[in-house]
Amino acid sequence: MSYRQIDTPALLIDNKILNRNIDAMQQYADEHKVDLRPHTKTHKMAELAIKQKKAGASGITVAKTGEAEVMAEAGIDDIFIANQVIGRAKVERIRKLSESINVSFGVDSIYSVKEIDEVFEGADKKAEVLIEIEVGEKRSGIIEEDDFIELLDAVKDSMNVRFKGVFSHDGHTYKAASVDELKALYDESSTRTLHFADIARNHGMACEVVSIGSTPPFVLGFELPEGITEIRPGTYILMDGSQANVIGTNDTCAATVLTTVISKPTSERVITDVGAKGLTQQHRKVGLTATAGLGKIAGFDDVHIDGMFDEHAIINNQQFSDQVEIGDKVEVIMNHICPVSNLYDKAYLVENKEVLEEIEVAARGKLQ
């Protein structure tokens, strides 16, 4: 059927753009001779993760244990949880996963190492951990070198935990005001990650993996410094309005939300049937990724959602209003794809205005 027959709101994925994005990032990784371990929190779809693996990805990244379980059930056997996993119940689930797949996860505290060591007592193989390095995002991760060495010693002294390497996330690059500033932040982040890898090596604990991640530096084609072994971009596969602003085009945006015009109460106000429950109210305020409004209307110049209620999008644009009628369907390029994927049970894969298949958002709601 034509995708215009789909009931709305609905999450759409353009098949041609999707495949082009997958191939482009894999080519980038291959050219730089590093592993690509895409972050699947962007789409939460096992079918898309399998596509990424078939294209050459070494494994996948997830954010939560529940996501790892869904992806493992789908047959993906090499998974990194790029997050601190705190709580015996979650660590016990990882131990169970480790019986059938290769799974590793993040730590940044001695508390975590001790808990993991206890839970993995008697397991057939050790828990594999990477230490997160804070590189400027002001989120989780090790900051001080002394704390890093103490954490290395805690892992070394444990009986059931194996040190696999270090990882970082340079999410603060999203706030860069220019490509030059983004490049400087990326270089600083990469250098800091490699510095901690050197500390570990000099401490007798070589890093099998030195992993960095975020989409902007890679879609901009920045060089990778020697010593990086793995990259973990996520958004690149579907892209979104904020990331598209970095490269100055919406041509790589594979995902949109289809929505129906349901009301035109004034000559310029247009209301559609998707609100915060289908798009979120996220937007970026500064830097290259800054967005105007709460979503772009695809195919219309400078038309965006001005306001939002739970189930209503508000567009105030006279020219747009003159071009659409009640019952028409339009597509929204969301500001941030990752939380939007988590709002839908399924996505429609489309090509040449026809629906190819429905894809289950299998990891939707897997927050634990």
Residues near 317 by beta carbon (within 8 Å), at least 6 away in sequence: 268, 270, 303
Distance in angstroms (rounded) separating the CA atoms of residues 269 and 255: 25
Question: Percent of the chain, pLDDT > 90?
Answer: 99
Q: Which residues, in sequence order, are bridge partners of residue 110?
A: none
Q: What is the pLDDT of residue 151?
A: 98
Residues 6+ apart with CB under 8 A from 6: 12, 258, 348, 355
The rounded distance, in Å, linking the Cα atoms of 19 and 16 is 5
Half-sphere exposure of residue 22: CA atoms within 13 angstroms, side-chain side: 19
The pLDDT value given to residue 164? 98
pLDDT of the residue at 331: 98
Q: Give me 61's structure tokens.
A: 């990244």
Confidence bin at 189 (pLDDT 50/70/90): very high
Q: How confident is the model at residue 354 (pLDDT cuts 50, 70, 90)?
A: very high
All residues at 6 or more sequence positions from 222 whose CB lies less than 8 Å from its CB, including other chains: 183, 186
Span 79-132, pLDDT tens digits: 999 999 999 999 999 999 999 999 999 999 999 999 999 999 999 999 999 999
Once rounded to an integer, what is the mean pLDDT over residues 59-76? 98
DSSP string for 131-149: EEB--SSSSSSB--HHHHH
pLDDT tens figures, 318-348: 999 999 999 999 999 999 999 999 999 999 9
**What is the set of domains in the chain, with CATH numbers?**
3-10+242-360 (2.40.37.20), 15-237 (3.20.20.10)
Helix boundaries (H) for 158-299: 179-202, 216-219, 241-247, 276-279
Task: Provide the angle, in degrees to the nearest 10, between the axes of the packed helices 46-54 and 65-73.
Answer: 70
Beta strands (DSSP E) in the chain are: 10-14, 35-36, 60-62, 78-84, 102-107, 127-132, 161-169, 209-213, 230-231, 255-263, 269-272, 296-297, 307-308, 313-316, 329-333, 346-351, 354-360
pLDDT score at 140: 98
8-24 confidence digits (pLDDT tens): 999 999 999 999 999 99
Contact 251, 18 (CB under 8 A): no
pLDDT > 70 in the chain, percent: 100
**What is the three-class DSSP state of 246?**
helix
3-state secondary structure of 68: helix
pLDDT of residue 214: 96
pLDDT in the model for residue 290: 96
- What pLDDT, on the 0 to 100 scale, is given for residue 240? 98
pLDDT value for 356: 98
Q: Taking a C-beta distance cutoff of 8 angstroms, is the pair 255, 59 a contact?
A: no
CB 170 within 8 A of CB 212: yes
Mean pLDDT of 48-59: 98
